[in-house]
Structure 1
Amino acid sequence: MSRLTHSEVHMVHRIGWLRAAVLGANDGLVSTASLVVGVATAGSDHKAILIAGLAGLVAGAMSMAAGEYVSVSSQSDAEQADLARERAELADDPAGELDELTEIYVARGLDNSLARQVATQLTARDALAAHARDELGISETVETNPVQAALVSALTFAAGAVVPIAVAFFTPAEQANLVVAGTTLLGLAVLGALGASAGGAGVARGAARVVFWGAIAMAATAAIGALFGVST
């Protein structure tokens, strides 16, 4: 492949949707499984366990979507405000902004003359883009998208939540807590490994950290279920 047609794909290109996807699936699996385990440990019947799981799926997916949308929208608003301020500064004091961009490149290791040349050429091409990227740290690669983050979070939460609900559906109520906990830990290990692999991190470490926190969450809800159980 020639250098003219070669296109590199780096992990940072995935960060916008990867973070929301991993968070959503992990939260859906852990929170719903913990809810099911807690209700099952309390001695609830099969119907109550499934209703609790389905309620957790719907509420959690909506909560994740709303939370991601608000959070990412706030970040996007901040970015747009910074861009508007930078646009006004470029209009009011273009020479000063050129000096500022030059100083940024000097601080990164270029000598003064080369830094000035680079700043001048980038300013001539697209001054706002140059300042957004090199002064503010805002680029198209990491630009926030509230709707995308909300949809990805809701869908991946639901996908993660389906696992413990499906397991509980096919498992007798008296065994649901142990079976759901075991399959959830396995699912978390797979999810952690996939997330780490997609992000370019260590697979074993990624799996271990989500399994650990998932086990803690389910142990806590199981303890509550046992403490306030309706039957023995």
Structure 2
Amino acid sequence: MTNKVLAALLLSLGWLQINAQVTIKPGVRAGMNLATISNMNADTKADFYVGGFVSIKLASFYTLQPELTYSRQGAKSGLYDFSGDYPIVIDPQMYSRSRNIELQYLSVGVMNKFRIVEGLHAVVGPTLDFKVGDNFTSFYDDPIGVDMAIVAGFGYTFPFGLTVEARYKQGLIDIFGNDYDDDFYSNNGYYENNVLKQIKLNQVIQLGAAYSFDF
């Protein structure tokens, strides 16, 4: 009986010690987006992101960080094809227009932060982005309502809770939901080399800061 009580006590102490190492801190993050869209002859557009997160430190070298972020993306002077997908275009320039492209997403991410040295960390993780706005009302197609992306970057956290961070966010789904890697396009030299008929992906550089609250 005494041995069972002692074993239970040791297990309880071990459980408490493990859980004492786990720290949970909420925080906010905001910064600048430098966004563009691949295969649209587009320049980089400056905009912003803002959001919140919960930092769950599970070990001295690893932190799990769920995030919810409002992100304004798109591209500057993007070239968009007004002609649709019909194989009758002779000169794409006759059917295209150049204008700024605005896409707004509510991004749900799960970041994995790995400590490199004191203060310095690497971050990587996926996001699921839900479109909440765009300026495509006069375009032939509308962007689809969801995107997936992979995020990677580095950051430095100061002792008082402020973090400065640089990330790169690469979209994984064509913003119009198209997949041009099919038999028709791959066997047609014109469409294979036509920049307007290639998959268009969100690409974003994020430069910003975050602050963790220590309650």
Short-chain TM bin: under 0.3
Task: Output the TM-score relative to the length of structure 2.
Answer: 0.25
- Normalising by structure 1, we get a TM-score of 0.23
Relative contact order higher in (CA < 8 Å, ≥ 6 apart)? 1
Higher strand share: 2
Structure whose alpha-carbon radius of gyration is higher: 1
More helix by share: 1
